[in-house]
Amino acid sequence: MIKLHDKYFKPFISAKDIETAVDKLVAEIANDFGDEIPVFVGILNGSFMFASDFVKKYPKPCEVTFIKLASYEGVKSSEDIQRLIGLTQDLTGRTVIILEDIIDTGKTLEEVHRIFKNEKVNTLKIATLFYKPEAYKKDFKLHYIGMEIPNKFIVGYGLDYDNLGRDLPEVYQIKETQHMTNLVLFGPPGAGKGTQANFLKEKYNLVHISTGDVFRYNIKNETALGTLAKSYIDKGALVPDQVTIDMLNAEVEKNADASGFLFDGFPRTTAQAKALDELMDTKDSQINAMIALEVEDEVLVQRLLERGKTSGRADDADEGVIRNRLKVYYDETAIVADYYTAQNKFIAVDGVGSIEEITERLSTVIDKL
């Protein structure tokens, strides 16, 4: 993570991946133009590093020049394109290839086309190292693209944020930090996760996401994901992790302005934990802690048997079934604790006592976060 002025940026594209994209563009253009001598035109300021690396790698004779345009103020592309330095050579009848560092809205590209229309060039081609398809609003053809990227602000490799960051050899993406507290509430069957989740979500203004509730909602409402999940369940197969994470993503998207999330019943495997980390990273957020309610087996068995008298759940009424559920938990699910322990995010809380006592213990932990 780096800080430029008042904003933070996270690693996005490595120097090696940038070099691969430049090599790709060089190979494509050299193959298309053979022994013809093109004029490469870099768009300053951003393309100076890209243009330099490109022409150094270009295997045939070529010419290179620059024009300077300005269209960014801070992190937003402005509507006003200023031509600050123009061309100093006659390009009539020449093949011109624009070397752009990045194309997003296309406003700069529009000005480029206007400039070179007046220059009466024979051929005009556009090559850009980075391209944001989600942001592009123009109809001009892009002939060569190094790589497509999401519509998020980036710095490095010639790109800046208020004049800082151009010198970085890698590319960084802005971290639009969500000021969230995201928790995973963990524990074996009967530990009291659901009960405590109801108190915690109110106290800390968190959105409670229970995997069971999410599944039931999607299946009942016959959403695309619910129908897909049901097709696996009906066959007695496990629902793939990606289907589950897609459901959770939909819930997170519904509550984009939330103060944070309390995940209950997920993740159940290390693979799911990694998928959840990736999901939260796309929201420029993270899981702050896994809080595990720890309760001895005999207490759990008695709790579940007692719950079975009123819950109507068959798996709460049979001691043998209950003990098997606990075994499955320890064999398959408890290993997720190791994943969060490795990140220093695992916190164990005594889950025995009154509901109020346990809530107070959990609150003490969360307050420190």
Known binding residue 313? Answer is yes
* Structure tokens given for 286: 């993270």
Catalytic: which of 193, 201, 303, 345? 193
Contacts of residue 30, Cβ cutoff 8 Å, sequence gap at least 6:
58, 59, 60
Residue 325 a catalytic site member: yes
Q: How many Cβ atoms from other residues are within 10 Å of residue 296's Cβ?
A: 10
Q: Which of 283, 307, 323, 361 is catalytic?
A: 307
What's the rounded Cα separation, in Å, for the pair 247 and 220?
Answer: 13
Whether 230 is a known active-site residue: answer no
CA–CA separation, 109 vs 213, rounded Å?
49
| Residue 224: partners with Cβ closer than 8 Å, 6 or more residues away | none
| pLDDT tens string 311-351 | 777 767 788 888 988 988 888 778 899 999 999 999 999 99
For the chain, 369 residues long, give each residue's pLDDT as a single digit of tens.
889 998 889 899 999 999 999 999 999 999 999 999 999 999 988 999 999 999 999 999 999 999 987 655 555 555 555 555 677 788 899 999 999 999 999 888 888 888 888 888 999 999 999 999 999 989 999 999 999 999 989 999 999 999 999 999 999 999 876 567 899 999 998 999 989 999 999 999 999 999 888 999 999 999 999 999 999 888 888 788 899 999 998 998 888 778 899 999 889 889 999 999 998 888 888 899 999 999 999 999 999 898 888 877 776 778 888 898 898 888 877 889 999 999 999 999 999 999 999 999 999 999 998
Amino acid found at 240:
P
The active-site residue, picked from 107, 268, 303, 345, is 268
- What per-residue confidence (pLDDT) applies to 85? 67
Identity of residue 19? E
Q: Please tell me whether 211 is known to bind a ligand.
A: yes
Of residues 10, 60, 76, 313, which has the active-site annotation?
313
Domains contained in the chain, CATH given:
2-174 (3.40.50.2020), 181-367 (3.40.50.300)
94 is catalytic: no
Q: Is 51 annotated as a binding residue?
A: no
Rounded distance between C-alpha atoms, residue 51 and residue 273, angstroms: 42
Among candidate residues 264, 283, 266, the one with its CA nearest the CA of residue 274: 266
Nearest Cα to Cα of residue 214 among 258, 256, 247, 192: 247
**Structure token digits, residue 128:** 């850009």
pTM for the model: 0.59
272 appears as a binding residue in the annotation:
yes
Confirm or deny that 194 is annotated as ligand binding: yes
Residue 193 a catalytic site member:
yes
For residue 13, which phi and psi values (nearest 5 degrees)? -130, 125
Structure tokens at 255: 């509550």
d(CA 99, CA 21): 13
DSSP 345: -
Beta carbons of 50 and 58 less than 8 angstroms apart: no
User: What's the pLDDT at 197?
Assistant: 93
Catalytic: 361?
no
